[in-house]
């Protein structure tokens, strides 16, 4: 096994001790110490010679090193200065690796411009190149990382990510479940979402307080192409599910009263056969896409 992969608990503890680093829980610094899991994550990504890999959270660089063997290029981003320095020392110079020391997100929301620029640079090397997100994500930013990759026009092909189990269950929840929400609809309308493996806290060091899951997301271009405007749809879902238990009609009137008249909303609901009692949490992703599209077109007509 490669030296950089020797990420067992004692090895990790020694390494961090030598560099005077204490794991920071506020940055989601829970490192994978079960090498079988690291290998499993990388295997599930099916990394090939046209793949540009984005890893958010380099950590000590164990998984990063593993991915450089097969990928066209690996871009790994780490916010913590000490961890970045440690990973740089561990990994040394590799032609197909870019280590970035910075926040992967701008304002905890969209991808940082520097990260986007590096992704675009690496993709532009060859038109066959595709992007994959493969990471043991910092749990506090897992939702914006995954959702915002979906909103971009980047040619991403697969995500294999370790996240909190509770979040993974929300991603794949079906209508009428209490966990079904804006995130479930947003992802399922454009991707095939699959929970690959549940992980106990013991595979990480330090142990997180919660269970985790390895999730796989693969784009569904047919679903994606039906959405009239992705940023509009994202905003629509966020606001709609904010009042998930309220009747759809009153929520929509509240959301769009400044842009379209009530009778127009009633016509849309009638045409879609959505009765007075319908609620967002009962509707499947496909219906919510149709509804958002119909409203989007009316809003566009009026503006």
Ligand X SMILES: C[S@@+](CC[C@H](N)C(=O)[O-])C[C@H]1O[C@@H](n2cnc3c(N)ncnc32)[C@H](O)[C@@H]1O
- Residues of the shown chain interacting with ligand X in the complex, contacts defined by CB under 6 A: 27-32, 56-57, 59-60, 62-63, 77-80, 83, 103-105, 136, 138, 141
Residue 260 CB, shortest distance to ligand X, in Å, is: 38
55 annotated ligand-binding residue: no
The encoded tokens of residue 230 equal 């992705």
Going by C-alpha positions, the residue among 15, 36, 241, 111 that lies closest to residue 4 is 15
Per-residue DSSP letter, 175 = T
Nearer to ligand X, 57 or 181 (CB): 57
Residue 136 CB, shortest distance to ligand X, in Å, is: 4
Residue 152 CB, shortest distance to ligand X, in Å, is: 17
Sheet holding 73-78, edge to edge: 97-101, 73-78, 51-56, 130-136, 156-164, 212-219, 191-199
Count the Cβ atoms, other than its own, within 10 Å of residue 49: 11
The encoded tokens of residue 20 equal 């005077």
Going by C-alpha positions, the residue among 72, 78, 61, 71 that lies closest to residue 24 is 78
- Asked if the bond preceding 206 is cis, omega within 30° of 0, the reply is yes
113 annotated ligand-binding residue: no
281 annotated ligand-binding residue: no
43 annotated ligand-binding residue: no
Residue 115 CB, shortest distance to ligand X, in Å, is: 9
Which residues contact residue 27 at a Cβ distance below 8 angstroms, ignoring those fewer than 6 apart?
A: 79, 80, 138, 140
Residue 277 CB, shortest distance to ligand X, in Å, is: 42
Instruction: Give the residue closest to ligand X by C-beta.
Output: 57
78 annotated ligand-binding residue: yes
Nearer to ligand X, 70 or 290 (CB): 70
Nearer to ligand X, 136 or 188 (CB): 136
Nearer to ligand X, 62 or 168 (CB): 62
Binding residues for S-adenosyl-L-methionine: 30, 32, 57, 78, 103, 136
């Amino acid at each position: 096994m490669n030296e950089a992969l020797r990420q067992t608990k004692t090895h990790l503890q020694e390494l961090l001790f030598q560099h005077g680093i204490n794991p920071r829980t506020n940055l989601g610094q829970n490192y994978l110490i079960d090498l079988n899991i690291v290998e499993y994550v990388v295997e599930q990504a099916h990394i090939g010679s046209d793949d540009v890999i984005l890893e958010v959270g380099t950590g000590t660089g164990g998984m990063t090193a593993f991915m450089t063997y097969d990928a066209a290029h690996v871009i790994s981003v780490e916010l913590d200065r000490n961890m970045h320095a440690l990973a740089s020392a561990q990994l040394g110079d590799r032609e197909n690796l870019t280590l970035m020391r910075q926040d992967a997100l701008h304002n905890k929301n969209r991808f940082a411009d520097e990260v986007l620029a590096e992704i675009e640079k690496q993709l532009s090397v060859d038109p066959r190149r595709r992007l994959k997100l493969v990471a043991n994500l910092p749990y506090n930013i897992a939702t914006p990382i995954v959702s915002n990759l979906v909103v971009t026009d980047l040619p991403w092909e697969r995500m294999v990510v370790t996240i909190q189990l509770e979040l993974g269950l929300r991603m794949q929840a079906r209508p009428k479940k209490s966990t079904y929400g804006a995130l479930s609809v947003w992802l399922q309308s454009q991707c095939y979402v699959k929970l690959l493996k549940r992980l106990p806290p013991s595979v990480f060091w330090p142990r997180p307080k919660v269970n985790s899951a390895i999730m796989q997301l693969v784009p569904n271009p047919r679903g994606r192409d039906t959405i009239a405007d992705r940023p509009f749809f994202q905003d629509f879902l966020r606001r709609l599910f904010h009042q998930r238990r309220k009747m759809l009609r009153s929520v929509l009137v509240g959301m769009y009263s400044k842009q379209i008249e009530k009778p127009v909303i009633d016509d849309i609901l009638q045409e879609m056969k959505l009765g007075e009692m319908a609620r967002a949490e009962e509707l499947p992703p496909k219906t919510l896409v149709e509804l958002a599209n119909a409203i989007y077109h009316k809003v566009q007509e009026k503006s």
